[in-house]
Amino acid sequence: MRSAIIILASGFALSSSASSPVQAQSLNGSRASVDIQNRVAQEHEFTFTTTTAQVKRFVSAGYLVPVRSSADVFVKQISHPYARPEVALFIERLGRQYRAACGEQLVITSLTRPINRQPRNASARSVHPTGMAMDVRRSSNRGCRSWLEKVLLRLEGAGVIEATRERRPPHYHIAVFPSQYAEYVDRKLAGEVEETRLAEYRVRSGDSLWSIAERHGTSISDLRSVNDLRGSRIYAGQVLTVPTGR
């Protein structure tokens, strides 16, 4: 799923690890941040698409995938609603967490942009043409902005993205490092599986699925699934298998 790269920027050395931070974590943007994004694009051997026709060929080949609106994410009417598969995964996960945290949809205002469709104020070194970048609208809700910025800084610190707070118009530019982010998610999912333990619990008088789930840090749906329960009815003395320690 890789193709020959068209190098648009030069004059900086490739490092052995794209995930190694080279500057203090910040959303202010810098030349160093742009250098990192371009270095990652080169290490992935990504092509900087030049035309809409080329973007469509990449979609047909599976290098880029459609990104659609959902309950958690709103994709504005953009000309090329496509991204690298790992970026689509990033949007899905971030959108779900963002909506749970502040009750808003994550609004995507830009994804893949071929070179001939870049806006006039775009950097000549932008990685949008590779499909590894996205723009997110800056919310008017201070709490939502604070939550999102903390998450972006944490992910920058983990070496899986580079993010910049842009002011005209107000938005966040996020470049996702595909292989690094995929490995990060794999580690997260593996950790969730490892941390989940099953224990036996004998139901006491007055217990309910809700109280048992609350006490053990799990959910009613997980209790039902593990115990093959169709409803919520339980009885004293019944032994349930309880997911715990997650």
Q: What is the pLDDT of residues 170-202, one digit of tens each?
A: 999 999 999 999 999 988 877 665 556 778 899
**Residue 133, SS3 per DSSP:** strand
Based on the fold, state whether residues 157 and 114 are members of the same structural domain.
Answer: yes
> Tens digits of per-residue pLDDT, 92-102?
999 999 999 98
Based on the fold, state whether residues 167 and 222 are members of the same structural domain.
Answer: no
**Residue 89, SS3 per DSSP:** helix
CATH code at position 229? 3.10.350.10
Query: Does 1 score more than 50 pLDDT?
Result: no
- The verdict on residue 89 lying in a domain is yes
Q: What is the pTM of this model?
A: 0.71
- Of 186, 208, 236, the residue at which a domain comes to its end is 186
Q: Cα angle at 8 between 2 and 10, to 5 degrees?
A: 105
How many structural domains are present in the chain?
A: 2
> Tens digits of per-residue pLDDT, 79-95?
999 999 999 999 999 99
- Of 186, 211, 230, the residue at which a domain comes to its end is 186
Based on the fold, state whether residues 169 and 211 are members of the same structural domain.
Answer: no
Token duo for residue 170: 């107000």
Based on the fold, state whether residues 215 and 137 are members of the same structural domain.
Answer: no
- The verdict on residue 73 lying in a domain is yes
pLDDT of residue 241: 87
Q: Name 106's Cβ contacts closer than 8 Å, sequence gap at least 6.
A: 72, 73, 74, 91, 94, 95, 98, 99, 136
Average pLDDT, the chain: 86
> Residue 237 belongs to what domain range?
197-244
pLDDT of residue 217: 81
> Tens digits of per-residue pLDDT, 213-244?
888 888 887 888 888 887 788 989 999 988 87
pLDDT of residue 22: 41
Based on the fold, state whether residues 74 and 175 are members of the same structural domain.
Answer: yes
Query: Per DSSP, what are the bridge partners of residue 242?
Result: 199
Based on the fold, state whether residues 93 and 144 are members of the same structural domain.
Answer: yes
CA-based max dimension of the chain: 72
Do 9 and 49 form a contact (C-beta atoms < 8 A)? no
